Amino acid sequence: MPASISADLTAAVRLLQSGQLVAFPTETVYGLGADAADPAAVARIFAAKGRPADHPLIVHLPGAAYLDQWARDIPPSAWELAEAFWPGPLTLILARAPAVPYAVTGGQETVGVRVPAHPLALALLRAYAQAGGGRHGMCGIAAPSANRFGRISPTDAAHVHQELGDAVALVLDGGACEVGIESTILDLSRNGMPPRLLRPGHITPEQIGSVIGERPELPEGMQADGIPRVSGSLDGHYAPRTAMRLAASGDLPRAIGEAQSQGKRCGLLLRGRLAPPPVHSLRRLPDAPEGYARGLYAALRELDQAGNDVILVEAVPAGPDWAAVADRLRRAARGAGTV
């Protein structure tokens, strides 16, 4: 490990142990971290993000061996999933262990935990464990995405600086995030009930089902094609300040024409090869779910900052492969211009 990184890690561990915030890369998005066992440190996360205090945070662990510190009544399926997917972009919701502060769980009796796969996140968590962890010897870093509440998640260190400025003591720079959208969240805490997907992500219900022999229930209102049927499940989130609309490929030329005839500057986010009329700004993402997800938030952020009046996004195909991306796009469009 280069000397500068190990110096950063040492500084990061000290800051965490003294109740300060440290932003760090994960394979999904950058996280805004604090000692998860220290309610005052966790309160700083909510203050820096402007996030309501009843929203629970995900606790990042150095490895599955630390699960017992944070959760109780852990079902066999949790160990199987941890074995199959950790380190990786899967968050498990489990019954909280008694020592877990309610500040982290948003007052709930459950806790979200995951072991992130980014080498720098793992190095930080392991250094933290080696240094004795946080309060009461507990070793978990609570970290939501390192953006202001409701805004676009950061997928590189510069985005974190843009979002949070001086509110964070240190930002560890691990380059661009590989996955690009937030972890899959699976609720395993519902005693005797089937596991339920709470947030789609890179790890799919099919993959989960193939490990535990049971397909998780989809989020309320979401069908297998990833298209929500209940508008209430569409909270605005991950959103640019600029208005944003989704349009099917065939409808785009008309949507662009209409916006331009109203004197609006159009930002366009395309996948694939469509040849658009001239617009104020254009970004193109790969026409495959993984590559699209990797570039999505950076592209939205750029289009948001390019002086467009509206961002038009070429809709992605229906179907399970695109479900996680479709979820983020719909939420972004819903929250756009409102935060």
CA dist 134 and 143 (Å) reads 14
Return phi, psi of residue 328, to 5°: -65, -40
CB of residue 284 vs ligand TXA: minimum separation in angstroms?
Answer: 25
Nearer to Mg ion, 91 or 308 (CB): 91
Nearer to Mg ion, 77 or 91 (CB): 91
Are the CB atoms for 184 and 90 separated by under 8 Å?
yes
Q: Is 155 in the site for ligand TXA (CB under 6 A)?
A: no
CA distances from 99 to 38, 105, 109, 155, 232 (A): 10, 11, 11, 32, 34
Q: How far apart are the first and last CA of the chain?
A: 40
Query: If contact means CB under 5 to 8 A according to the sort of partner, which of Mg ion, ligand TXA, none does residue 77 touch?
Result: none
Nearer to ligand TXA, 89 or 295 (CB): 89
Nearer to ligand TXA, 61 or 310 (CB): 61
32-91: contacts with ligand TXA (CB under 6 A): 55-58, 89, 91
Q: Is 31 in the site for ligand TXA (CB under 6 A)?
A: yes
Nearer to Mg ion, 30 or 85 (CB): 30
Q: Is 26 in the site for ligand TXA (CB under 6 A)?
A: yes
Are the CB atoms for 82 and 62 separated by under 8 Å?
no
Q: Which of 28, 105, 145, 155 binds Mg ion (CB under 5 A)?
A: 145
CA dist 106 and 200 (Å) reads 21
Polymer length of the chain: 339
Are the CB atoms for 255 and 279 separated by under 8 Å?
no
Residue from 240, 190, 254 nearest 216 by CA: 190
Q: Mask of contacts with ligand TXA, 181-200, x by CB under 6 A? A: -xx-x------------x--
Residues interacting with Mg ion, by CB under 5 A?
145
